Structure 1
Amino acid sequence: MYMSITSSLLHGAASRCTNECLIDVPHRCKDAVLCTRSSRMSGARVLACQAFPTHPAQGPQRPAGHDHRMATRRTLLATTLGAGLLPTISMRSRAGALYDEYAEEYDGLESGRAAQLLGLAGLRGRLASMARGDALEIGAGTGLNLPWLLARPLTSYTALDLSGAMLAGARARLARAPPPPFPVRFVAGDAARLPFPAHSFDCVLSSYALCAMDRPDAALSEALRVLRPGGQLLLLEHARSELWPLSWYQDRTARAVAALSKGCRWDREVGSLVRAAGGEVRALERHLLGTVVLLDAEPRA
């Protein structure tokens, strides 16, 4: 199935903010380029890019046959239980530029009927509901978790992503929301080399980001390093199912899926990765036949 999907054709360059910015809401970062439309993806796209309908775009008309391709990819996404949902951060040097190009399309991933049927928004809400204290989100992307996080009684919130254009989208989302009662900052950085001292946060969370990292072990070790004693590591992530027919399929399509979805590996044992990095798994819920996990862990004493 995945082999029939044409790889994406990318063009243009997106504006990015490369500075670490502490936002005094409702003021905006002076370097942020909000709602940028300086680049678009054209031609055939990977599965996740067209799996969900996007909002009507200003500018060039979409190519002929676009609606048909959208419907086809929505069907493929529902069939694969969300395997095409793309994360927003990678350790590879080219990943930041890749997701800069993809940023404008990203919000459409969870706006369609397929996403509603799969309950994706509800899972994000569950993840955010456990956040507390000084919270760091790695692979924050365009801020899809912000609506839930802003409603939490946090002390502070830091969003980190490798893509400046993704962070610009998150800033735009924040600017449209009521001012939060805690400081918010956006940091361009690599999850495998977090620019924070040890024991800086009470909570580190991430959704659909670990699966695209070349070295998830390094990112998890870093997340645990910056947690304070008793802190929480919260993950919403693609994972290898425990159901044999599905796990067999995941194993045999993993390389093709990764090639077509910006490096996303949907066949990883997330709980095992966390334990190997020095974490203690407190709770692990499986959803969508086990292909998505919601995990709560803490640094091992």
Structure 2
Amino acid sequence: MTRQADFQHPRFAQAYARVAELVDRRGAYEHRRRLLAGAEGRVIEVGAGNGRNFAHYGPGVTEVVAVEPDDVLRSLATAQAPSAPVPVSVVPGHAEALPSGDAAFDVVVVSLVLCSVPSQPRALAEAARVLRPGGELRFYEHVRSPNPAFGLLEDLITPLWRLAAGGCHPNRNTLEAIRRAGFEVTDSDTFGFSPQPGMPRMTHVLGCART
């Protein structure tokens, strides 16, 4: 069984927090805005990181429960929560064991988190469990490149990348995993994005699926 202690990556978390503003300036701010535009009702954000999404929740959202396993990032998210335009509570937990009853939320948000969960099927099953019937899964993730050469390179570097980047797998086909988990993808945009200077453009997907 995956434990919360397995998600502690303090060195990576500190580095992630340091570059987050730069990544937003390079385009992630707009990606986050698109991800959350029009969200309504009770929201659970899985793997909330240091709270970069909080500013983008609109007036239709009544509450955000932000789940973050990493102690460093959760502390930063807790400090960020009071400045959010909607009520946000930051709680410990992880994607494979969400701290919620069944059908408790209108929206589940996963933002650059399904790359690093130990098991995408278990994480997505939990997302489906906590969603009300007809609820939304909002997703923004980097995924395996459709270019055969780049995809092979991502396959080759994944073992080392995973160790250096807090469990991140750059070669996951997350969109297909969402469909296999029983979600109906209703909107999806695939695009290249370079989070930092000198990094190649990585394939990202952004969209919405329903139970």
Smaller-chain TM-score range? 0.7 to 0.9
Q: Which residue of 1 aligns with 2:69?
A: 162
CA contact 2:24–2:30 (8 Å) conserved in 1: no
CA contact 2:4–2:69 (8 Å) conserved in 1: no
Q: Between Structure 1 and Structure 2, how many residues are aligned?
A: 202
Question: SS at 1:94's partner residue?
Answer: helix
Q: Which residue of 2 aligns with 1:171?
A: 78
Quick one: structure 1 residues 147 and 120, their matched pair in 2 at CA, closer, same or farther if it must change by over 3 Å?
Answer: same
Q: Which residue of 2 aligns with 1:229?
A: 133
Q: Which residue of 1 aligns with 2:40?
A: 132
CA distance in 2, matches of 1:281, 1:290: 21
TM-score under structure 1 length normalisation: 0.62
CA distance in 2, matches of 1:262, 1:104: 11
- What's the offset of the Cα at 1:272? 1.3
Q: Which residue of 1 aligns with 2:196?
A: none
Quick one: structure 1 residues 107 and 260, their matched pair in 2 at CA, closer, same or farther if it must change by over 3 Å?
Answer: closer
- What's the offset of the Cα at 1:226? 0.8
Quick one: structure 1 residues 105 and 257, their matched pair in 2 at CA, closer, same or farther if it must change by over 3 Å?
Answer: closer
- What's the offset of the Cα at 1:245? 2.6
Structure index of larger Rg: 1
CA contact 2:12–2:166 (8 Å) conserved in 1: no
Structure 2 residue runs without a partner (length 5+):
193-200
2:17 to 107, 122, 132: 107
CA distance in 2, matches of 1:214, 1:243: 25
CA distance in 2, matches of 1:92, 1:194: 12
What percentage of aligned pairs have identical amino acids?
31
Structure 1 residue runs without a partner (length 5+):
1-90
1:263 partnered with 2:173: no
Equivalent runs, 1:1-301 vs 2, <5 Å = 91=2, 93-99=4-10, 102-112=12-22, 116-117=25-26, 119-149=27-57, 151-175=58-82, 177=83, 180=85, 182-288=86-192, 291-299=203-211
257-266 or 103-112, which moves further after superposition? 103-112
